[in-house]
Amino acid sequence: MPGQQLIMDFPVTATSHLLPDYLARGGYQTLRRALTELKPEDVTKEVTAAGVLGHGGAAFPVGRKWAVVKLDDGQPHYLCANADEGEPGTFKDRWILEHAPHLLLESMLITCYALQVRNCFVYIRGEFDQPYRRLQAAVEEAYGAGYFGENVLGSGFACDIVVYRGAGSYVCGEASALITSIEGKKGYPRNRPPRLTVRGLYQRPTVINNVETLSNVAIIMRMGAEAFRKVGTAKSPGTQLVSISGHVNKPGVYEVEYGYPLEKFIYEDCGGVLGGKGLKCIIPGGISTKVMTAKDIEGVNYDHKAMEAAGSQVGSGGMVVIAEGTCMVRLLHVMLRFYHHESCGQCTPCREGMGWMHRIIERIVKGDGRPGDIDALVRISNANDGTTICGMGDAAGYATVGIIAKYRDEFEYYIANKRSKFDGRLEVAEAAGEPAHA
Ligand SMILES: Cc1cc2nc3c(=O)[nH]c(=O)nc-3n(C[C@H](O)[C@H](O)[C@H](O)COP(=O)(O)O)c2cc1C
């Protein structure tokens, strides 16, 4: 997009997922240089200096995570790329897997060299069919060209990769559940400590990074940390792949420089709201992030600090645009049905809490809501906060509290009148080709 600097800047063509195309873009030269000219710790130093943050949702600094792995501890180390991408509204990793799989693979190879990893994994969402086929084909091309195997590019460094397909569980995107799933067990998250970088896959030090996070590694090593830091803001260097959907004229995946004006992105670059409607709100970074009203986004720049100051988060970069006329009660209904269905059932507050919340919103939507229901939703959300092993219980609560705080009147109206405030005004959903009563 005009007016910003990009780092990935990866034009998609019909062949951009194939090795010859990637090589023509200078692909795998950075790996070759790292293996021949750099020590593993030099790579970590450069990535740390770049200040790149995790793109999976929590924005944890990559260098700090990698630093925990001791290169001389005599243990096998593992790397897992998190390609589960189960957060509703998020489909930016899918874009990398489909169009730039070699960027991920080259980045993973450089990361494996930095962390002295012999065996690495990509844990890919079960529903991702085309991305899986593209990635697996790229793995085979990379083996054929000598980038994986016993003696990578004749350097003496050995590295193998396994692409592991999930089975459609949202919780398996959580890092500890993900490794438990790779081990062939039920994908339950587990308590920390010990951290996964101390005891992870097969009880060994394991780094888990999101697909987009890892894809930054080859870019950082190619351009250098100093140049990387010139893009974005001081606290959020680089860019974010934003997947934008919902009531928006130009949905898709966009690379956005951190610090870019959010309104300009939505109204100009993405063409604004469908059908010329007003913007009601956005879900900025996957449904686990708090909604921001049209007023909340005024003057806000798209970076971690600014989004937090405005009451939400960058999250996983999965932005959903919601037009005026959309019923927030029904929206929360869809969200709570998802959370209830996806709770792994291990922690009581999440297992029972999600069920209670789902049943409450279900009866509101059916016209059987009770006056105390809104406060009950808030109470259960707050009781979940910090009481579960993984962040899912908290996230569902934040999303719920966020919607109720801003649209309580819609819930009150629904309960008092046994119908949505917006019934009979569903043009937006219809214009978007969605069923009126989804
Ligand atoms: C319920 C739940 C689901 C998650 N799903 C994903 C996911 O699909 N992809 C992802 O990268 N991170 C996901 N995460 C975050 C991971 O636990 C982890 O923080 C992330 O993969 C680390 O990578 P990063 O530091 O590069 O962001 C999820 C977390 C929770 C609590």
CATH number of the domain bearing residue 346: 1.20.1440.230
In this structure, are 416 and 354 located in the same domain? Answer: yes
Same domain, 349 and 309: no
C-alpha 197 to ligand 1 mean position (Å): 15
Nearest CA to ligand 1 atom 20: 56
State mean pLDDT over 362-381: 97
> Do 220 and 244 fall into the same domain?
no
For ligand 1, pick from 174, 201, 392 the residue to mutate: most ligand atoms within 8 Å of CB.
174
Q: Whose CA is nearest to atom 31 of ligand 1?
A: 391
- Of 335-344, 399-408, 420-429, the range with the lowest mean pLDDT is 420-429
Which residues contact ligand 1 via a Cβ below 6 A?
54-58, 60, 82, 84-87, 170-171, 173-175, 208-210, 213, 390-392
Residue 20's Cβ-side half-sphere holds a number of Cα atoms within 13 Å equal to: 3
Q: What is the mean pLDDT of residues 72-88?
A: 97
Average pLDDT over residues 359-363: 98
Q: Kindly report the protein residue whose alpha carbon is nearest to atom 23 of ligand 1.
A: 209
Residue with tokens 């999101």: 210
Structural domains of the chain, count? 3
Of 229, 255, 285, the domain-final residue: 229
**What's the CA gap between 128 and 190, in Å, rounded?**
25
Domain match, 84 and 183 both:
yes
For the CA of 59, the closest atom of ligand 1 is 27
Atom of ligand 1 nearest to the CA of 60: 25
Q: Which residues are CB-contacts of 139 (< 8 A; sequence separation ≥ 6)? A: 105, 148, 161, 163
What is the mean pLDDT of the segment spanning 255-280? 98
Are residue 133 and residue 210 in the same domain, yes or no? Answer: yes
> Is the pLDDT confidence value at 106 over 90?
yes
- CB contact burial 137-174 (16+ within 10 A = b; e otherwise): ebbebbeeeebbbeebbeeebebebebebbeebbbbbb
* Sign, Cα dihedral of 39, 42, 47, 50: negative
Q: Could you identify the atom of ligand 1 that is nearest to the CA of residue 391?
A: 31
Residue 2's pLDDT is 74
pLDDT for the residue 155:
97
The DSSP line for 287-349 is: TTSPPEETTTTTT-EESHHHHHHTTS--TTSEEEEEETT--HHHHHHHHHHHHHHH--S-SHH
Q: Does the structure show a pLDDT above 70 at 227?
A: yes
Minimum CA distance residue for ligand 1 atom 25: 54
Cβ proximity of 135 and 211 under 8 Å: no
Question: Is position 2 within any domain?
Answer: no
Closest CA to 152 of 32, 63, 22: 32
Q: If you measure from the C-alpha of residue 84 to the centroid of ligand 1, how many angstroms do you get, rounded to a whole number?
A: 8
pLDDT band at 426 (very low <50, low <70, confident <90, very high): very low
Same domain for 85 and 206: yes
- Tell me phi and psi for residue 69, to 5 degrees: -75, 120
pLDDT at residue 314 greater than cutoff 80: yes
Q: Ligand 1 center to residue 300 CA distance, Å?
A: 25
Buried b (16+ CB within 10 A) or exposed e, 378-411: bebbeebeeebbbebbbbbbbbbbbbbebbeebb
Give the DSSP letter string of 18-40. SHHHHHHTTTTHHHHHHHHH--H
Query: Does 291 share its domain with 372?
Result: no
Q: Report the distance separating Cα 7 and Cα 397, nearest Å.
A: 35
Residue 216, domain CATH:
3.40.50.11540
321 strand-pairing partners: 246, 282
- Is residue 194 reached through a cis peptide bond, with omega within 30 degrees of 0 on the bond before it? yes
Q: How far is the CA of 243 from the centre of ligand 1 (A)?
A: 16
The pLDDT value given to residue 424:
64
Over residues 384-404, mean pLDDT: 94
- 109 with 59, same domain: the answer is yes
**Residue 43, both tokens:** 């790579």
The reported pLDDT for the residue numbered 437 is 42
| Residue that the structure tokens 């023509």 belong to | 24
Mean local confidence (pLDDT), 373-385:
96
- 19-32 in b/e form (b: 16+ CB < 10 A) is beebeeeebbebbe
Query: pLDDT band at 312, cuts 50/70/90?
Result: very high
pLDDT digits (tens, 9 = 90+) for 284-305: 999 999 999 999 999 999 999 9
State the pLDDT confidence band at 3, using cuts at 50, 70 and 90: confident
pLDDT at 253: 98
pLDDT at 375 over 50: yes
Give me the torsion for CA of 216, 217, 221, 222, rounded to 10°: -40
Domain that holds residue 410: 328-421
The last residue of a domain, from among 323, 340, 362: 323
- How far is it, in rounded angstroms, from Cα 131 to Cα 143? 18
| Euclidean distance between CA atoms 214 and 227, whole angstroms | 18
Residue 259 to residue 306: CA distance in whole angstroms:
8
For residue 55, tell me if it sits in a domain: yes
Place of tokens 């009481």: 387
pLDDT band of 435, cuts 50, 70, 90: very low
Measure 356 CA to ligand 1 centroid, in angstroms.
Answer: 25
Query: Would you say 182 and 54 are in contact if contact means Cβ atoms under 8 Å apart?
Result: no
Q: What are phi and psi of 164, to 5 degrees?
A: -110, 120
Candidate from 79, 107, 124, 210 with most ligand 1 atoms within 8 A of CB, to mutate: 210
Percent of the chain that is helix, strand, coil (3-state, to 5):
45, 15, 40
pTM: 0.96
On whether residue 431 sits in a domain, the answer given is no
Pocket test of ligand 1: the residue of 79, 80, 87 to mutate, having most ligand atoms within 8 Å of its CB, is 87
Ligand 1 mean position, distance from CA 249 (Å)? 29
Identify whether the C-beta of residue 81 lies closer than 8 Å to the C-beta of residue 104: yes
- What percent of the chain has pLDDT above 70? 97
| pLDDT at 428 > cutoff 50 | no
- Whether residue 434 has pLDDT greater than 80: no
Residues 16-56 pLDDT 10s: 999 999 999 999 999 999 999 999 999 999 999 999 999 99
For 104-110, what is the mean pLDDT? Answer: 98
Is residue 174's pLDDT more than 50?
yes
Closest by CA to 3, choosing from 377, 269, 185, is 269
> In this structure, is residue 43 part of a structural domain?
yes
Task: Output the domain CATH number for residue 312.
Answer: 3.10.20.600
Q: Report the DSSP pairing between strands 318-323 and 239-246.
A: parallel
In a domain, 336, yes or no: yes
Write down the H helix ranges in 237-279. 262-263
C-alpha distance from residue 75 to each of 114, 115, 197, 402 (Å): 15, 11, 12, 44
Say if residues 267 and 260 touch (Cβ distance below 8 Å).
no
Q: What is the structure's pLDDT at 121?
A: 98
Same domain for 243 and 389, yes or no, is no
Residue 427 lies in a domain: no
119-147: average pLDDT: 98
DSSP lists the bridge partners of residue 124 as 83, 165
Q: How far apart are CA 194 and CA 196, in angstroms?
A: 6
